[in-house]
Amino acid sequence: MTIQIIIPKSIKSNYTGYRDLLNLASIYNICTQDTSVVLNFKENTWFDANLLPALYAIVELGRQKGVTSIYRNQHDCTLTKLFVRNGFGKHCFNLEYCPHDSETVIPFKVFKANDTYNFSHYMDDELIGYFPSMDLAVKKAISSYIQELFGNAQIHGNCAYVYTCGQYYPYYHKMDFTIVNLGRTFQENVIPYLTEMDAVLPDNSISWAVQPNHSTKRGTTGGIGLSLMKDFISYNKGKFQIISGREFWEINNGAEGKREFEQVFPGTIVNIEIDQNDTNLYIHDVPSNSELLF
């Protein structure tokens, strides 16, 4: 059986864009083995490049149960050119890979979830250059916050692979970067943990998890990585969004919001947007007396 899906006109990193991606995931969810899905992008005029890992995850979900995905679009359109330039087209639809010395593309990658070492190098090689003008040590610190997000996929998601991609938008001086996995959702981790702890259950698991010192790790400490990123994005006036299962949480230009979707994403999408125009001076305040550190 072949089904055709018309990709909406615009897919952006906002609630509506994620909702459209989750609707797509729900169609794949009901596809049976040997179904061919034609993804028709002819009416699509904008697709945030950083969201391509989410599209890849949906296609991969289909692939795992024998569903074939076919890309349909004009051969020389902007989107196709992007797909062949950032490596997504090769990974997802077996299009020819034509890397380009572009100053705006952060390549699409598939990492093993435990490959924190190579992800760390990818951060240094591809991402750190798009951070705001600041001391290199502070850039490295922000890089480490993103690496914590990557590490969470294995620790909490218990997934095999992590998909990443980014894009620098020079007109807006913003860099978007997205990390996606098909592992356990926030809700699947938080609710059993809090139930076990006999604690009150939150209405949004992600909102609970981004609080300092909140972690679902057993027998060891955690709960630092997400809150550090949240703090930085608040100062930066950027965007930090997490979509997991039916839940949506974001901090956007300092305002925190949470919502639910009708459909489910069978994993987690983490998107960060960093404002390159940030002129804050970031200084980590540490006491000088290291003799009594402990």
Partner 1 sequence: MIISVLQEIGDRATDMQQGDRIHAKIVEGFSENEKVEVDFSGMQTILSTFLNNAIGALYKDYDSQFLNGNLKIINLCQEDMFILQRVISRAKDFYANPESVSDALDEFL
Which of 138, 169, 237, 258 lies at the binding interface for partner 1 (CB under 8 A)? Answer: 138
Return the number of the residue (36 or 147) whose C-beta is nearest partner 1: 147
Judged by CB under 8 A, the chain residues 273 through 292 that form the site for partner 1 are 284-287, 290-292
Q: Binding of partner 1 at residue 88 (CB under 8 A)?
A: no
CA distance 53 to 58: 9
Of 214, 209, 165, 220, nearest in space to 185 by CA: 209
CB of 181 to partner 1, least distance (A): 16
Which of 1, 30, 137, 255 lies at the binding interface for partner 1 (CB under 8 A)? Answer: 137
Q: Binding of partner 1 at residue 293 (CB under 8 A)?
A: yes
Using CB under 8 A, which of the segments 13-21, 38-46, 103-111, 135-143 binds partner 1?
135-143
Q: Binding of partner 1 at residue 234 (CB under 8 A)?
A: no
Is residue 242 within 8 Å of 269, Cβ to Cβ? yes
CA distance 60 to 68: 9
CB of 124 to partner 1, least distance (A): 7
Question: Crossing angle for the helix pair 15-30 and 52-64, nearest 10 degrees?
Answer: 10
Q: Radius of gyration (Cα) for the chain, nearest Å?
A: 19
CB of 155 to partner 1, least distance (A): 7
CB of 126 to partner 1, least distance (A): 15
* Residue 234 structure tokens: 């608040």
Which of 20, 214, 239, 275 lies at the binding interface for partner 1 (CB under 8 A)? Answer: 214
Q: Binding of partner 1 at residue 186 (CB under 8 A)?
A: no
Q: Binding of partner 1 at residue 224 (CB under 8 A)?
A: yes
Q: Is 251 exposed, middle or buried (0-12, 13-18, 19+ CB in 10 A)?
A: buried
DSSP characters for 18-32? HHHHHHHHHHHHHPP
Return the number of the residue (104 or 116) whose C-beta is nearest partner 1: 116
Q: Binding of partner 1 at residue 151 (CB under 8 A)?
A: yes
Contacts 24+ apart (CB under 8 A), 134-141: 134/278, 134/281, 134/282, 135/282, 138/282, 138/284, 141/282, 141/284
Strand partners, 257: 250
Using CB under 8 A, which of the segments 41-49, 57-65, 70-78, 134-142 binds partner 1?
134-142
Which of 221, 255, 262, 281 lies at the binding interface for partner 1 (CB under 8 A)? Answer: 221
Of 234, 236, 232, 235, nearest in space to 276 by CA: 236
Q: Binding of partner 1 at residue 107 (CB under 8 A)?
A: no
Return the number of the residue (73 or 215) whose C-beta is nearest partner 1: 215
